[in-house]
Amino acid sequence: MKRILALTLALALCLCLFAACSIKEKAPADTPAATTTKPAETAPSDWDKLKAAGKMVIGITDYEPMNYYDANGKLIGFDTEYAEAVCAKLGIKAEFIEIDWDNKEIELNAGSIDCIWNGMTYTAERDENMDFADSYIYNALVVVIRSKDADKYKTTADLSSANLVAEAGSTSEEVITGDPDLSKAAYTPVDSLVTSLMEVAAYTADAAVVDSTMAAELVGKGAYADLIIIDGLVLSEEELAIGFRTGSDMPAKVNEITDDLIADGTLPALAEKYGVNLITD
């Protein structure tokens, strides 16, 4: 009897040990620690970059009365002083770099410059490749010839047999190549608006298609004393605007400061000083 009882107890003990081992084997594995995904960092805005750099790098060409050098080699002009006034309000410096106008959008998108602030005409095509601040100057495209040719060239039809020049990559070039009469003329692109006038003055071209803003300032004076604007011939009416990279937050900031500079009389005074037609509405 005692032997049977001992066997029974031994069997019960084995069953308990087996059950305990089974439970231990089936225990769930340790739960791995939860992982967290770090949110992607937001790319700095154009304003953040300018603020960190302490300056705005501005692409320009030599274009009187917008950006040009005085007798002492100092950069002056309506756009020069306008940009400096805006940058002063922003608490940064304005740094001007001369660019090849035909490559202006390449320079902008490559980050070589922060904006194009150089009497640039607003067009729908350019609007696809950059973001503009509000237009600030009224402009037009006119034709400059030598005064002795006043009777020879009066219309676009007359100019169809002329040798024309215009700045490469400009709206002047677009007008020449797109006009039924002007497109028949011999056309040579040049590197700047000033060069266009120099070509006519030097008799290497018969006529130049240029901005009225510049023509009104230069024609009939100094090296261009023998040049005139063809009376009554306006090829295109335009507005000038400042171009920034697509998606930039700077146009809105410039617009806000521009409103202040108009209200306090700064821009109207500059417009009178440099003889440009300021947009104030």
Render pLDDT for 128-165 as a digit per residue (tens, 0 to 9). 999 999 999 999 999 999 999 999 999 999 999 999 99
User: Measured between alpha carbons, how far is 235 from 156 in angstroms, rounded to an integer?
Assistant: 9
User: Measured between alpha carbons, how far is 276 from 281 in angstroms, rounded to an integer?
Assistant: 15
Render pLDDT for 78-91 as a digit per residue (tens, 0 to 9). 999 999 999 999 99
In the chain, the percentage of residues whose pLDDT exceeds 90 is 84
Q: What is the mean pLDDT of residues 175-187?
A: 98
Render pLDDT for 23-42 as a digit per residue (tens, 0 to 9). 444 444 555 555 555 555 67
Q: Taking a C-beta distance cutoff of 8 angstroms, is the pair 190, 168 a contact?
A: yes
Identical fold at 46-136+241-278 and 139-238?
Answer: yes
Q: What is the mean pLDDT of residues 184-195?
A: 96
Question: Does the pLDDT value for residue 2 go beyond 90?
Answer: no
Structural domain spans, the chain: 46-136+241-278, 139-238
Residue appearing with tokens 């770099």: 97
Q: Taking a C-beta distance cutoff of 8 angstroms, is the pair 129, 91 a contact?
A: no
pTM of the model: 0.81
User: Measured between alpha carbons, how far is 193 from 212 in angstroms, rounded to an integer?
Assistant: 11
Render pLDDT for 258-277 as a digit per residue (tens, 0 to 9). 999 999 999 999 999 999 99
Q: Among positive and negative, which fits the CA dihedral 218, 273, 126, 123? A: negative
Q: Which residues pair with 202 in a beta bridge?
A: none
CATH architecture of 46-136+241-278: 3-Layer(aba) Sandwich (3.40)
Q: Is 123 exposed, middle or buried (0-12, 13-18, 19+ CB in 10 A)?
A: middle
Domain covering 139-238, topology: D-Maltodextrin-Binding Protein; domain 2 (3.40.190)
DSSP E strands: which ranges in the chain? 55-60, 68-69, 75-76, 93-98, 115-116, 131-132, 137-146, 163-167, 186-190, 207-211, 227-240, 243-244, 277-278
